[in-house]
Structure 1
Amino acid sequence: MTFMNQDRVEQLTNEIGVSNIPILLGIFTGELVTYQSQLSEGVLSDKMELLAEICHALKSSAASFGAEPLCQLAIQIDAKSKQNELVEDQALIDQVLALLANTHTTYISYLETIEA
């Protein structure tokens, strides 16, 4: 699975400038870590409410940065939440956590290559 759409990141780089991309990707990767931490803590019922909030926010940020698998899952979860169809599901939390971790690793590696 590809966690980053390189074409989208290059398009974003052209739009905002090469000097700004490390700053924005740094913010994005920081958010991913924060979301991982938040979802790892607490009881499942609290996690599901938090998951809905996180996915609502991730829809646009993941799309902006070309994190397509994360964006697609966030869209699905947000839609379920809005239709009151989001039920307690640790497997779903684990899936999101894994995707957050893999996306974070991918973007950190990319940052290291452009900052070198």
Structure 2
Amino acid sequence: MKIQNSAKLEQLSHEIGAENVPILLNIFLSELAQYIDTLSMQTDDSNNEYLKDICHALKSSAASFGAEKLCAMAIEIDTSAKLGQRSEYREHRVQLIALLRETQQCYHKLLASD
């Protein structure tokens, strides 16, 4: 699965106008940075609610920007959290931080190339 689905970004560009995509991408990147910072500072592995909230929000925003891998992970973690599988919190948090960073780098490169 790809980090970025170019076809989805192209579709978004047609829907909202190419001039608006960089603005929205910057907002998306700011959200990713905020999630990374907050998740990185958490030391209490029992706080499943924040991770669930992030993943719930990410399902939509990642899908909108074609961040397929991030969207898939957000769906997986959100489902796991809803099922009460707290034992996987630490692993999910670490995996999500890594994927957030990877996605952030990919989309920063995309903005830099425009």
Which TM-score band applies after superposition, normalised by the shorter structure?
Answer: over 0.9
Residue 44 (str. 1) matches residue 40 (str. 2) = no
State how far apart, in whole Å, the 2-side matches of 1:12 and 1:49 are: 31
State how far apart, in whole Å, the 1-side matches of 2:68 and 2:110 are: 15
State how far apart, in whole Å, the 2-side matches of 1:15 and 1:69 are: 22
What's 2:10 paired with? 10
CA offsets, 1:27-86, max 9 Å, x none? Answer: 00100000000101122223x321111000000000000000000010011111222224
Check 1:84–1:90 CA distance in 2 against 1; reply closer, same or farther (3 A cut): closer
Cα RMSD (Å) of the superposition? 1.3
Aligned-residue offset at 1:101? 0.1
Check 1:89–1:80 CA distance in 2 against 1; reply closer, same or farther (3 A cut): closer
State how far apart, in whole Å, the 2-side matches of 1:97 and 1:86 are: 17
Residue 68 (str. 1) matches residue 103 (str. 2) = no
Tell me if the contact between 1:44 and 1:88 (Cα under 8 Å) persists in the aligned partners: no
The amino acid across from 1:18 in the alignment is A
What's 1:77 paired with? 77
Task: Give the unaligned 5+ runs of structure 1.
Answer: none
State how far apart, in whole Å, the 1-side matches of 2:76 and 2:90 are: 16
State how far apart, in whole Å, the 2-side matches of 1:60 and 1:86 are: 23
Q: TM-score, normalised by structure 2?
A: 0.92
- Of residues 31-40 and 48-57 in structure 1, the stretch that sits farther from structure 2 once superposed is 48-57
- Of residues 16-25 and 73-82 in structure 1, the stretch that sits farther from structure 2 once superposed is 73-82
Q: TM-score, normalised by structure 1?
A: 0.91
Find runs of 4+ consecutive structure 1 residues off by over 6 angstroms.
Answer: none
Quote the sequence identity (%). Answer: 47
The amino acid across from 1:45 in the alignment is S
